[in-house]
A and B are shown apart, each in its own frame.
Chain A
Amino acid sequence: MSSLQGRTLAQGVTLAPLSEDVEEWGGAREHDELFELNFGPHHPATHGVLRLIVTLQGEVVVEVKPIIGYVHTGIEKTAEDKSYWKVIPVLERMDYLSYYFNAMAFCSATERLLELEVPERAQYLRVIHLELNRIMSHLVWLGTSALDLGAISIFWYCFREREAILDLFEMSSGQRMHTRYFQVGGVIEDIPRGFERKLRQFLKVMPARADQYADILNANEIVLQRLRGTCPLSAERLLALGVSGPLLRAAGVPWDLRKATPYSSYERFDFKIPVGTAGDNYDRYAVRHAEIYESVKIIEQALDGLPEGPHITPDRKVSLPPRHELATSMEALIHHFKLVTEGFRVPAGEAYVPIESPRGELACFVRSDGSSKPARVHMRDPSFVNLQALSEMVRGSYIADMIATVAMLDPVLGGIDR
């Protein structure tokens, strides 16, 4: 491996020349010796339990090899052992920052196998919660990434807004995380009284708060120097590696499944897809930050146009009968009993449904053999696919930039390892 010092790298970074007194410190004059560094699985900058084997030449990264599996939970295998509606809470815990998306992908795949129509009100309620979840996920990402860059106050601001969103989740479902709000055929319950007022309050505040984050970060010299121009990757390479989501959009490709293959009435909402130009770390940050505003817009439209009607499919073979029917209708009691004990049966077949999660294309593949349990559940998790671009992004840049890149990659290890 030849020395990289003094050369201008592809991204326009000129590496500092070595100082003369390196030999006095016991170092080699030329950093042509490779050094392997173990990074993780317990490291505060890895966003979980990611382990990286970093090969360094001096301070420059030559190669990165991610080692995963430290939170392998056997989620896909466990899903095969449960009836369809009991799979939802297990899958929700996969990518633990986008639990609504995990549930949405699985429910959509099951609905496709059942050829089930989701009522409009349920679709709108789903959109509201999906977009709230997207904002929440981006807030956690922004707070923790800023911590990695050395900015600590932004963490508290982001988590303040996150609590407001979790309060809304708690209102509609009773849980802060892993809400199990989405159900095959719709949502489990209609939104309670007062939810709309609280949500509108939040929507009024959120754009101003996002402006505050921008005020803190966009004028910060340290943040700019660590993000601008660091570790870019071209759109061609990103596409070749299968990268999707904000990382791809930062390189200028306006690929968003909400626009490309609209699902759950996304075609009715007016929103923009933020794209970057350079595909560097700053664009990755800016795209996600801009998405917060777009999500707010979508929720506003969904809330204004929220149609009346049932919140879950009236098909009693799939959805639980309302509580009051159990006291009066024998048929409802039988349906309830069948659903709770055995669950509903799904016709044999396969379905693959991709949706746009905060990290990219999240998809669920379900194969049914006609029984009440799925024969195979596979999740295409965006973090897993995006992680393989890390090596190409950071090759030839400083190790400090690798920290920033891992932060901007936004991997969620629960989704990678499953």
Chain B
Amino acid sequence: MLRGEQIEGPVPGAHPDEEGVQPAYLQSGRPTSSDGEALERYVQERVLTTTLEKAVSWARGNSFFPATFGLACCAIEMMSIVAARLDVARFGFEAFRASPRQADLIILSGRVSTKMAPVIRRIYDQMLEPKWAISMGACCSSMGVFNNYALVPADHFLPIDVHVPGCPPRPEALMHGILKLREMVQEHPQRGWRERYGALGTEELLPGAERAGAAVEVFREEA
């Protein structure tokens, strides 16, 4: 329906009484009544909710707002995906945001020291949901060549969605990682970090936020 398909003539299966034959896909017993009105409502509800979810995922996956957040060597390669050769703006990820409040993707570009880890966690907590995290490079995925007392792998304190290997990864590799994340968000939106970690219901809501809008209500219902 979103694509603006023109449906000519009677919608098949919409009024089974007229035809006298029930379509096969309705015989599985999902709609309790084969009554015309109830069925139509059922179909409309189904079609609407799934396409809306898909549309939202499509939009989310195509417009990540990464945080302007550089740690070490990988940050230079992260900068170069915005530059002329790769031009990540082709896919819509070029709007790097300086404030975590405006970002929904954090790219950990470099080595994470024990001193920096709490800061990163705090920045991540400040980002608005839904949010994603990419661990770029060997250091913050596995402590890399150093592998010593000073570093922490990012998985120890953040739910990472995509790991990009390399030391540092080529900009193409990072872009591939972002596109993989896009695929995840668009095709498998149920693989967000809350679902993976069983953290539904832990959302922080301000007191009185229930009255604020429908989005909050939806969140509550899912929880």
Interface residue ranges, A against B (CB under 8 Å)? 41-44, 48-49, 69-75, 77-78, 89-90, 93, 96-97, 140, 143-144, 155-156, 159-160, 162-163, 176-178, 413-414, 417
Contacts and interface: CB of A to CB of B under 8 A. Distances in A.
Contacts of B73: 93, 96, 177-178, 414
B84 interface: yes
B146 A73 contact: yes
Given A41-B116, A159-B80, A160-B84, 20 more contacts: A42-B69, A44-B98, A48-B70, A48-B71, A70-B119, A71-B71, A71-B111, A73-B148, A74-B146, A74-B150, A77-B148, A78-B146, A93-B167, A140-B76, A140-B79, A155-B83, A159-B85, A162-B80, A177-B73, A178-B73
Contacts of A74: 146, 148-151
Interface of B: 68-73, 75-77, 79-80, 83-85, 98, 100, 110-111, 113, 115-116, 119, 123, 139, 145-146, 148-151, 167-168, 170
Contacts of A176: 77, 168, 170
A262 to B, nearest CB: 30
A159 B85 CA distance: 9
B146 A163 contact: no
The majority secondary structure among interface residues of chain B is loop
A75 B145 CA distance: 10
A60 to B, nearest CB: 24
B6 to A, nearest CB: 45
Contact of A42 (B76, B77, B80, B123): B123
Contact of A71 (B68, B110, B123): B110
B77 A177 contact: yes
Q: Which 3 A-B pairs have the closest CB atoms?
A: A159-B83, A96-B73, A74-B150
17 contacts: A42-B123, A48-B72, A70-B115, A72-B113, A73-B111, A73-B151, A74-B146, A77-B149, A78-B148, A93-B167, A96-B73, A97-B76, A160-B84, A162-B83, A163-B83, A176-B170, A177-B73
B150 A72 contact: yes
Most buried by B among A73, A77, A160, A414: A73
